[in-house]
């Protein structure tokens, strides 16, 4: 099954309520499908600098609610909620409420957590990957049970709730689309079994953003990741929507030089960088051709760009969204 193209924006900051709401309305007006946040706690300082990660100024849940209130059709989401940062029952309640109050415009992105320095700065235990992914699986089970409105009686290694039914009921049935993101075999197999949207991402096993994650997300590695998803998904594979963050989006003048500079920094050839699934370089026309090629190769139809590319990327959205 070939999914239609749709596009999202991932945003990290705003200086005022007015700026944030205006951005949400602009994203909607330009034809983007969704506005996403990330789910990180730390502000400026040595920890976030060492991780090479952008500073997430806004808390995800209230910012998503504000964006929904300012728009009419724009979907709201988080790429992705770290399930360790909230009690699972609180996350279920908050996401059900967001879907209700947005009239069914929520996408629930979920991840196992990866930023080791943030865990340590918050005084949290950074468990081994297998433990964090097992916890993620149990949280997905709780969310689905909560959204079904059934009386909850879950007793697991990580999630234990009982004696109440999940409210409010979400607008979307059977539940808001669940996006599971990551780059390891274990988390992508979980996505194949449980997600509606599979977000192909770096394997951030180093606990920071760096060359290791980027080199393990080339075209060749992406093909391998899709194999893991296919193996776990079985007959439902063709129903899955595949999303990817185009973190390195450079449009127009200077894009070729940018691709060459990044290639050298990450230990890739310029051609590998230009074709890197997390990068888009060139004119809008060239990018449209490249996205169509990637959809044919990998089935990736949902692309999220950073907020600094909203305007420059808009011609691509105008041409391909819904096609």
How does pLDDT run across 150-193, given as a tens digit for each residue? 899 999 999 999 999 999 999 999 999 999 999 999 999 999 99
State the virtual CA torsion across 70, 37, 312, 263 in degrees, nearest 10: 180
| Res 113: pLDDT | 94
Kindly list the distances between the CA atom of residue 4 and the CA atoms of 30, 198, 233, in Å, as whole numbers in the listed order: 17, 15, 20
Q: Is residue 19 a contact partner of residue 60, using CB atoms and an 8 Å limit? A: no
Supply the CATH number for residue 53's domain: 3.20.20.30
40 found inside a domain: yes
β-bridge mates for residue 267, sequence order: none
204 found inside a domain: yes
Its domain, for residue 307, covers 6-320
Residue carrying structure tokens 């449209």: 288
72 found inside a domain: yes
264 found inside a domain: yes
Structural domain count of the chain: 1
| Res 2: pLDDT | 87
1 found inside a domain: no
The tokens for 25 are 């309305």
314 found inside a domain: yes
Write the pLDDT tens digit of every residue in 15-66: 999 999 999 999 999 999 999 999 999 899 998 888 888 888 999 999 999 9
Span 117-137, mean pLDDT? 96
267 found inside a domain: yes
| Res 117: pLDDT | 92
239 found inside a domain: yes
């Amino acid at each position: 099954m070939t999914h239609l193209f749709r596009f999202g924006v991932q945003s990290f900051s705003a200086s005022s309520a007015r700026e944030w709401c205006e951005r949400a309305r602009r994203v909607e007006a330009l034809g983007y499908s969704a506005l996403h946040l990330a789910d990180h706690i730390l502000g400026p300082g040595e920890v976030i600098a060492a991780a090479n990660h952008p500073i997430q100024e806004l808390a995800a849940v209230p910012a998503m609610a504000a964006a929904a209130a300012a728009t009419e059709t724009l979907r709201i989401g988080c790429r992705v909620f770290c399930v360790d940062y909230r009690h699972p029952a609180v996350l279920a309640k908050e996401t059900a409420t967001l879907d209700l109050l947005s009239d069914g415009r929520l996408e629930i992105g979920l991840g196992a957590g990866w930023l080791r320095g943030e865990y340590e700065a918050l005084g949290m235990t950074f468990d081994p990957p297998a433990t964090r992914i097992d916890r993620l699986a149990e949280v997905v089970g709780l969310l689905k049970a909560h959204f079904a409105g059934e009386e909850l009686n879950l007793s697991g290694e990580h999630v234990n709730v009982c004696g109440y039914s999940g409210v409010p009921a979400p607008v979307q049935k059977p539940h808001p689309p669940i996006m599971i993101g990551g780059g390891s075999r274990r988390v992508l197999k979980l996505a194949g079994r449980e997600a509606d949207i599979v977000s192909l991402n770096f394997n951030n096993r180093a606990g920071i953003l760096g060359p290791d994650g980027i080199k393990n997300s080339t075209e060749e590695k992406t093909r391998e990741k899709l194999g893991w998803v296919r193996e776990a998904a079985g007959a439902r594979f063709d129903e899955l929507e595949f999303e990817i963050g185009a973190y390195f989006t450079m449009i127009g003048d200077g894009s070729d030089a940018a691709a060459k500079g990044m290639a050298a920094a990450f230990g890739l050839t310029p051609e590998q960088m230009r074709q890197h699934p997390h990068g888009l370089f060139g004119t809008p026309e060239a990018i449209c051709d490249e996205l169509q090629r990637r959809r044919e190769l990998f089935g990736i139809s949902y692309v999220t760009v950073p907020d600094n590319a909203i305007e420059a990327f808009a011609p691509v959205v105008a041409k391909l969204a819904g096609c």
